[in-house]
Structure 1
Amino acid sequence: MFLGMQGTDGLLFKLLIYGLLIGIGFVYLYPLLYMGVYSFKSLDDLLNPLVNWIPTQFYTGNYEQANKVMDFFSTLMETLYVTVLPALAQTAVAAVVGYGLARFDFKGKKIIFVLVLATFIIPPQVTLIPRYIFFNELNILGSLSAFLLPATFGQGLNSAIFILIFYQFFRAVPKALEEAAQLDGAGHFRIFFTIALPMALPAIIISFLFSFVWYWNETYLAAIYFGDALTTLPLQLQKFVATYQKMFPAEMGVSGGNQLNEGIKMAGTVLSILPLLIVYFITQRWFVEGVDRSGITGE
């Protein structure tokens, strides 16, 4: 009963596994719980040492101020514009490149494969200055083209990972299907669009979602390439304190007043990650299936 026997798990083993899972889950959920609770705390609750996890009232003033500071809905539309288009372009190009490397033999194929891997191995900080100078000469700084153009040519954020995912996935597709289509008179483009792509749906989902999240969370390159022309929610979160102090200057001699507190900071943080959480909850089934069936495992 405690140690298990004949292929059955004992009580001791189950307690160990569930205890480990609960501990890991708590480590991941604690920051979210902390942000959620403190974002609904009023200033009185924050100053009251007796109020810990359960606020005395459902206070939404923190979100009202954070919404004004971040200009949430306008910034959200701009963030989607900056992330969705490059993610779509990167996924489409990675699918084409991965299919070409997996299905065709040509001179220089190994060299191209090595170059793809090199773009993933070389730290992006090494190529930052040359790329910035190049983009400046092309006059695309301050526009979406700074993200969209590299993604279109297979040089987006971590594009090598997605190319390898599609490469591994297309290698697992039986060649008999393509040979049968060729006997029916189908060309390479028709085979790619009617046979390969529908079977690569898990790889498409996982590539797009990962690409979407990485473009969403990218603040370093976005700040350098876009400047003040474009902004995103993570960039607004970085400037949250400075923007708040400009919009709500603290009144002299007034205790509390418009001073920035932890509840408002947590509300701004929740607003910045809320769209990603909604996207994950909507797509979690396809996301998990994509990870399980994509070319990462070759199954």
Structure 2
Amino acid sequence: MEKQAGQDQMVWKKWKGKLWLQLIGGKIRKFLLGMGENDGFVFKLVIYLLLIGIGFIYLYPVLFMLVNSFMSLDDLVNSMVKWIPTSIYTENYEKAIRVLDYRSTLMKTVLAAGTPALLQTVSCAIVGYGFARFDFPCKKILFVLMLATFVIPPQITMMPTYLLFKHYNLIGSLQTFIYPAIVGQGLKSTLFILIYYQFFRKMPVALEEAAELDGAGSLKIFYRLAIPMAGPAIIIVFLFSFVWYWNETYLAGMYFGNSLTILPLELQQFADSYSRMFPPGSPGSQINEAIKLAGTLLTIGPLLVVYFLLQRWFVEGIDRSGITGE
């Protein structure tokens, strides 16, 4: 009996050890792989590493510009100084502000980018709502023709558009950006119409029917019902439009001429403007990379501020409008 009890106890200890191993192994497996597809430590580690890597790729140029723009000439030529300057050198920004004539040029740039962006946001909303909520003759044909304007390279229509503006004496004024934006033919208008079209298609028909029963017409339904619901889409369209108009240098240089200038245009001729303002032989006449980087940051700085202010609504709008899958 004692021998049998000892054997049973040994068997029990073996089974107990196996149970503990299975329990610990299960916990480790659950911790590493998780119960579902995306809640394990390994999956999260891979995702975070990918996000950190992608974020670093995007942030590296900005961090590089920011750090080097505060370096003096001695720090730039010193191979021992990489990411931390010996002192904060703000004279680079002072010179860049003078060369860019920053305050005046910034106001002109905000006007040149904000006005057509605002008008384009309104006009594209009207067109997108019309395509999404109304049936009319040749609707599909017109929709395809609108899409064709997005496929056709802008270089093909650039010269006819320039000749048209020249015929009506619009060259050299902001009206060359304003008039196309009013009629829904501004920069990337087709994309913005598609964003509104996708958003308005998701509106419940019952809401429009209830508004019609209350006596509301199509126009009243649009600005009292559709527009308040399309807030996220409006944020997306305005932000994208503002950025594209801000960065558009080729059309701005061709249409505005010498009558109007914007920050990206001034940045393109930064070196020439600097040499005219600081002729050779004068104090501080030697331009360096730090001054150029300071001018670049001053040019893109307002865009970064606008994005950070609208970031929450921007992300919400992308999620609600569903444009990522289009």
Give me the TM-score of the superposition, normalised by structure 1: 0.95
**Match of residue 18 from structure 2:** none
Q: How does 1:33-52 map to 2 (within 5 A)?
A: 33-52=63-82
**Match of residue 33 from structure 2:** 4
Tell me, yes or no, if the aligned pair for 2:235 and 2:310 is still in contact at 8 Å. no
C-alpha distance in 1, partners of 2:227/2:284?
Answer: 58
1:85 is the counterpart of 2:112: no
Fraction of identical pairs, as percent: 63
Alpha-carbon distance, 1:20 to partner? 1.2
Q: How does 1:117-128 map to 2 (within 5 A)?
A: 117-128=147-158
C-alpha distance in 1, partners of 2:255/2:204?
Answer: 43
Alpha-carbon distance, 1:257 to partner? 4.5
| Structure number with higher relative contact order (C-alpha < 8 Å, ≥ 6 residues apart) | 1
Match of residue 225, structure 2, among 176, 195, 207: 195
C-alpha distance in 1, partners of 2:205/2:229?
Answer: 13
Q: How many residues align?
A: 296
List structure 1 segments (4+ residues) > 4 angstroms apart after TM superposition. Answer: none
Q: How does 1:124-135 map to 2 (within 5 A)?
A: 124-135=154-165
**Match of residue 168 from structure 1:** 198
Tell me, yes or no, if the aligned pair for 1:120 and 1:158 is still in contact at 8 Å. yes
Alpha-carbon distance, 1:148 to partner? 0.5
Q: Aligned in 2, Cα 1:260/1:297: closer, same or farther, shift over 3 Å?
A: closer
C-alpha distance in 1, partners of 2:88/2:54?
Answer: 29
Tell me, yes or no, if the aligned pair for 1:166 and 1:295 is still in contact at 8 Å. no
Alpha-carbon distance, 1:49 to partner? 1.3
| Deviation sequence 1:128-157 (CA, Å, 0-9, x none) | 111111111111111011000011111100
Pair member with larger Rg: 2
Alpha-carbon distance, 1:5 to partner? 3.9
Alpha-carbon distance, 1:278 to partner? 0.9
Match of residue 286, structure 1, among 283, 303, 313: 313
**Match of residue 186 from structure 1:** 216
Alpha-carbon distance, 1:9 to partner? 3.7
**Match of residue 105 from structure 1:** 135
Alpha-carbon distance, 1:52 to partner? 1.0
C-alpha distance in 1, partners of 2:284/2:114?
Answer: 40
C-alpha distance in 2, partners of 1:13/1:269?
Answer: 39
Classify the secondary structure of the residue corresponding to 2:162: helix
C-alpha distance in 1, partners of 2:322/2:58?
Answer: 27
C-alpha distance in 2, partners of 1:257/1:220?
Answer: 31
| Letter matched to residue 293 of structure 1 | R
Q: Aligned in 2, Cα 1:198/1:247: closer, same or farther, shift over 3 Å?
A: same
| Deviation sequence 1:200-252 (CA, Å, 0-9, x none) | 11111111111011100111110101011111111111010111011111219
C-alpha distance in 1, partners of 2:266/2:317?
Answer: 31
Q: CA RMSD in A?
A: 1.7
**Match of residue 271 from structure 1:** 298
Tell me, yes or no, if the aligned pair for 1:170 and 1:200 is still in contact at 8 Å. yes
1:233 is the counterpart of 2:233: no
Give me the TM-score of the superposition, normalised by structure 2: 0.87
Tell me, yes or no, if the aligned pair for 1:83 and 1:216 is still in contact at 8 Å. yes
Q: Aligned in 2, Cα 1:12/1:182: closer, same or farther, shift over 3 Å?
A: closer
Alpha-carbon distance, 1:100 to partner? 0.8
C-alpha distance in 2, partners of 1:55/1:118?
Answer: 52
C-alpha distance in 2, partners of 1:141/1:105?
Answer: 38
Of 3-12 and 270-279, more deviation after overlay is shown by 3-12
C-alpha distance in 2, partners of 1:129/1:173?
Answer: 40
C-alpha distance in 1, partners of 2:322/2:241?
Answer: 16
C-alpha distance in 2, partners of 1:23/1:295?
Answer: 26
C-alpha distance in 2, partners of 1:38/1:213?
Answer: 25
As a proportion of its length, which structure holds more helix? 2
Alpha-carbon distance, 1:14 to partner? 2.7
Classify the secondary structure of the residue corresponding to 1:228: coil
Structure 2's unaligned 5+ residue stretches are 1-27
Structure 1's unaligned 5+ residue stretches are none
C-alpha distance in 1, partners of 2:40/2:180?
Answer: 54
